[in-house]
Amino acid sequence: MIHRKGNPYGTHRVLEPKGVLPQPANKINNYMEIYDNEILIDVQTLNIDSASFTQIKDQARGDEEKIKIIMKSIVEERGKHQNPVTGSGGMLIGTVKEIGDALKDRDLKVGDKIATLVSLSLTPLRIDEILEIRKDIDQVDINGQAILFESGIYAKLPEDLPENLALSVLDVAGAPAQTAKLVKPGDTVMVIGGAGKSGMLCLYEAKKRAGITGKVICMTYWDTPIDKIKELGLADEFIEGDATDAVSVYEEVSKVTNGNLCDKVINCVNMPNCEMSSILSCKDNGTVYFFSMATSFTKAALGAEGVGKDVNMIMGNGYTKDHAAISLQIMRDSKELKELYQEIYA
């Protein structure tokens, strides 16, 4: 079959407004006849990003039929699953159905199971039927198809890990991989939302990279179950509180660091208005990594300026080199964390 030629970044799929890339576009073409540089996928499961799924659940008041209606309406309107409130998407796993002529030299074949490592907010998607919703872990099984562009990254699903476990890990792979890159021996590191899906993996990498001379702080919301995290020794200090209460968080961090604050702060909370607790907890010239898609650039930038904080701020890029391999390796290296993660998220 001879396929039409497409742009590497998928701009040939943009319907409106013209001239933008697929992610910021309001609407893209989700017709499932592929171009020469695209991969067609039979979708098995969508992993909706945490901020987006939380918003959808709240809008639907937890009603699964209403969740289905909201999700289908998003895709029908936009040609992709991009939450109009949060702007974010998620990722998927599925089976390769067809590969464009220009991509035949890739290490990929029809029938391979893959996870897409680019956001659903730019991925052409068609949902024919929603089969099951797993509200506690943000996963939705569907009948449908999706398109991966030439520039789109993916990972073949590992044979030694259960599929749903791999999907949950790969959904947040950027966070622990960025943590591994940022944290240095001797650092004091705080992970806000440390008991969550990305947070636990970040704690593991932070503890590993900071070493015996470092200190890792796990911050969680009141009443969040953390006994098993304590048992696994993923953190040295634990703070319970509300991450939207910046002053209280700052005071608690000051206590456990003897006023020294943190070299690195990793924000994994899926709720808005947590920018300032992250910034105030960080030393001058330290680094704050906002992995959460609920982060406001404006609040972070102007908030840091307003309190005179000279901190490096990284907005959550879900991709960093080798992020899939780094994150999946955690599941192989820590049997205990794998069991806990599988119990909660798979």
Are 313 and 179 in the same domain?
yes
**285: domain CATH number?**
3.40.50.720
Residues 183 and 175 sit within 8 Å (Cβ to Cβ)? no
Are 119 and 211 in the same domain?
no
Q: Can you give the pLDDT at residue 214? A: 98
Are 126 and 238 in the same domain?
no
Residues 19 and 79 sit within 8 Å (Cβ to Cβ)? no
* Exposed e or buried b per residue across 254-271, where buried means at least 16 C-beta atoms within 10 angstroms of its C-beta: eebbeeebbbbbbbbbbb
* Domain contains 3: no
Looking at 104, 129, 157, the residue that finishes a domain is 157
Residues 265 and 192 sit within 8 Å (Cβ to Cβ)? yes
Are 61 and 133 in the same domain?
yes
Q: How does pLDDT run across 105-154, given as a tens digit for each residue?
A: 888 999 999 999 999 999 999 999 999 999 988 999 999 999 999 999 99
Are 148 and 185 in the same domain?
no
Residues 125 and 113 sit within 8 Å (Cβ to Cβ)? no
As a whole number of angstroms, the distance between CA 279 and CA 304 comes to 6
Strand partners, 218: 191, 238
Are 128 and 277 in the same domain?
no
- Backbone phi, psi, residue 130, to 5°: -95, 120
- Backbone phi, psi, residue 180, to 5°: -60, -35
* Domain contains 290: yes
* Domain contains 232: yes
* Domain contains 275: yes
* Domain contains 310: yes
How many angstroms separate the first and last alpha carbons of the chain? 39
Reduced to 3 states, what is the DSSP secondary structure of residue 7?
Answer: coil
Are 115 and 244 in the same domain?
no
> What parts of the chain have a pLDDT lower than 50?
none
Are 251 and 139 in the same domain?
no
* Domain contains 4: no
Are 107 and 215 in the same domain?
no
Are 149 and 185 in the same domain?
no
Name the burial class of residue 321, with classes exposed (0-12), middle (13-18) and buried (19+) by CB atoms within 10 angstroms of its CB: exposed
Give the dihedral of Cα atoms 327, 331, 332, 337; nearest 10 deg.
Answer: 140
> Which residue from 31, 13, 33, 32 is spatially nearest to 21, judged by alpha carbons?
13
Q: Can you give the pLDDT at residue 167? A: 86
Are 16 and 135 in the same domain?
yes
The number of domains in the chain is 2
Range of the domain at 25: 11-157
Rg (CA), the chain: 20
Q: Can you give the pLDDT at residue 73? A: 97
As a whole number of angstroms, the distance between CA 144 and CA 131 comes to 10
* Domain contains 48: yes
Looking at 113, 131, 157, the residue that finishes a domain is 157
As a whole number of angstroms, the distance between CA 117 and CA 269 comes to 20
Contacts of 65 (CB under 8 A, 6+ apart): none
Are 143 and 100 in the same domain?
yes
Q: How many CA atoms lie within 13 A of 17 on its CB side?
A: 3
Looking at 157, 186, 221, the residue that finishes a domain is 157
* Domain contains 329: yes
As a whole number of angstroms, the distance between CA 264 and CA 81 comes to 32
Which CA distances in Å does 127 have to 46, 73, 97, 113?
Answer: 10, 10, 16, 18
Q: Can you give the pLDDT at residue 290? A: 95
